[in-house]
Amino acid sequence: MTTVLMLIGLRKTIMSIFITWGALHLNFYKLVLLLLLNTKPAHRFIPTKVATAITLLSQMGPSLPSQQSNIIEENVNEKINQQFEELITTLPSDKGLIVPTLINYKGFWYPPISIFKGVLLMQDQFKARSTDIFLCSAPKTGTTWLKALTFATMNRSKFEFATHPLLTTVPHNCMPYLDAYITDHDVEALPSPRLLSSHSAYSLLPKSTRESPDCKIVYICRNPKDVFVSDYLFSMKLRAPMFPPISMEEAFDLFCKGVCLYGPYFEHVLGYWKARLESPEKILFLKYEEMRRDPVKHVKHLAEFLGKPFSAEEEKAGVIEEILKLCSFDKLTSLEVSKTGKVAFVPEIAIGNETFYRKGKVGDSKNHLTPEMIERLDKITEEKLKGTGFAFGE
């Protein structure tokens, strides 16, 4: 009994030293996040619904949802934990939308939660396979749609359209989101070809992925005005009520100075664009607007790039159209799974599946941004793209 009381006393003393130190060195939100999130998974507060979503994720394979993937206690070792703690207290920080604080790691903004541990792990441990397929994107650029299209294209001979897994599984659960998945799953246990996704900038992808001549990267981008609006509205749905609201004007200022999840957005896009110019056979660069305009052409191109071109028989049988119908905004939003389920990429945040769909339109930002905002972002876009040879889709 005495020993237990002593241990409790010691824990309290350590906590108060930690809190005092934290209050001196971090802003309030960083401290709250540290206390809430930087504990072992077993000790974290995980609401039941989140735990259910985690279980669901763990039961899905990358390209074969019926297979069990290996969920493991935690890949995060002492070295990564130490690196994480050191970095989140020393890196430059600014305001975030979903979580109140973002930290800048090697030029890009991350939330100081387990995703960031995942990014450190990805760089430290991930070993690319020549057959890997990486689907990369900044948030709100059409990731959900592209995941569905890629999954359906790659697995078209495995599943009937009438009983397809995408009818009952949200696209995010068909393809692991490596930045988060790697923290507590054995990525080595995933069967080849691994279909993986990442929101990280090109320069922060695992070195072996960047250097492998064979593994493929599919990148999607979208015009920055629509990305900003989509991101702001999405983030406000997920921002915890305990944190003060952020106005669209303030979020816009942050976006314009480059502060947004996984951003700066322009640097994210241009990083992949430059890499694509150097290795066109390795990186396929897609634009949301162009895909919306001519999806058949782009799905055909995607299949060719991934080494699974549609045969003449498939084309005649209307397989491309079937894939497009299955992955269409109207179809996906009509499904029960899109209305009820949740995805927990990380234990800290569960995202309602319906949140991934809003309007799916090109140019909706004009209904939300003032003419001044449009002018300002257009000017920034022009400056950022000058001399790059790149233009966003319209």
| Binding stretches for ligand A3P (CB under 6 A) | 137, 139-145, 226, 230, 327-329, 332, 356-360, 364
Q: Which is nearer to ligand A3P, 243 or 357 (CB)?
A: 357
Q: Which is nearer to ligand A3P, 192 or 334 (CB)?
A: 334
Smallest distance from ligand A3P to CB 153, Å? 14
Q: Which is nearer to ligand A3P, 309 or 360 (CB)?
A: 360
Q: Which two tokens stand for residue 330?
A: 């109207």
CA–CA gap between residue 28 and residue 342 (Å, rounded): 29
Smallest distance from ligand A3P to CB 231, Å? 8
Smallest distance from ligand A3P to CB 358, Å? 3
Q: Which is nearer to ligand A3P, 135 or 215 (CB)?
A: 135
Answer yes or no: are the C-beta atoms of 266 and 258 closer than 8 Å: yes
Using alpha carbons only, how large is the chain's radius of gyration in Å?
A: 21
Is 164 labeled as catalytic in the residue annotation?
A: no
Neighbouring C-alpha atoms within 13 Å toward the C-beta of 198: 29
Active-site entry in 164, 172, 199, 298 = 199
CA–CA gap between residue 12 and residue 108 (Å, rounded): 36
DSSP result, 244-285? PP--HHHHHHHHHTT-STT--HHHHHHHHHHHHHH-TTTEEE
Smallest distance from ligand A3P to CB 325, Å? 11
Q: Which is nearer to ligand A3P, 44 or 300 (CB)?
A: 300
Q: Which two tokens stand for residue 55?
A: 């279980």
Answer yes or no: are the C-beta atoms of 342 and 352 closer than 8 Å: yes
CA–CA gap between residue 81 and residue 114 (Å, rounded): 10
Taking each helix axis as running N to C, give the angle between helix 319-326 and helix 143-154, from 0 to 180 degrees, rounded to the nearest 10. 140
If DSSP codes are grouped into helix, strand and coil, which group holds residue 109? strand
Smallest distance from ligand A3P to CB 368, Å? 10
Answer yes or no: are the C-beta atoms of 275 and 124 closer than 8 Å: no
Q: Which is nearer to ligand A3P, 210 or 358 (CB)?
A: 358
Smallest distance from ligand A3P to CB 335, Å? 11
Smallest distance from ligand A3P to CB 226, Å? 5
Q: What is the dihedral of CA 195, 390, 300, 146, to 10 degrees?
A: 40
The 3-class secondary structure across 297-360, one letter per residue, is HHHHHHHHHCCCCCCHHHHHCCHHHHHHHHCCHHHHHHCHHHHHCEEEEECCEEEEHHHHCCCC
Q: Which is nearer to ligand A3P, 182 or 332 (CB)?
A: 332
So which residues are the catalytic ones?
199
